[in-house]
């Protein structure tokens, strides 16, 4: 197992699992990743289908009021806000 330096997993909620333990957990419940992925897809589809009747076409008219220049300016602001 590689040596972990202080701060390498400080943002996660738990230290990384030992490879043998991780493998044994996956062997205990092999369909778990597929089940979780299926639940994620099902929840996204539910939100889309539940919100579709409430959608209004009039909200799409000023989709990009400042054009491409405004889209790139806004993405730059969001990027620098995320970085700093």
The tens place of each residue's pLDDT in the chain, 84 residues long, gives: 455 555 555 555 666 666 666 666 566 666 777 888 899 999 999 999 999 999 888 887 788 888 889 999 999 999 999 997
3-state secondary structure of 32: helix
The Cα 72–Cα 66 span in angstroms is 10
Report pLDDT for 18. 66
The Cα 22–Cα 59 span in angstroms is 48
Q: Is pTM beyond 0.85 here?
A: no
Report pLDDT for 46. 96
* Cβ pair 70, 64 in contact under 8 A: yes
Q: With CA atoms as reference, report the closest residue to 15 among 7, 25, 23, 26.
A: 7
Report pLDDT for 33. 78
């Amino acid at each position: 197992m590689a040596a972990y330096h202080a701060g390498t997993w400080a943002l996660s909620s738990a230290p990384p699992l030992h490879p043998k333990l991780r493998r044994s957990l996956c062997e205990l419940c092999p369909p778990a990743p597929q089940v979780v992925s299926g639940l994620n897809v099902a929840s996204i589809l539910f939100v889309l289908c539940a919100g579709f009747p409430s959608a209004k076409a009039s909200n799409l008219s000023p989709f990009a009021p400042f054009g491409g220049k405004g889209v790139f300016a806004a993405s730059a602001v969001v990027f620098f806000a995320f970085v700093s």
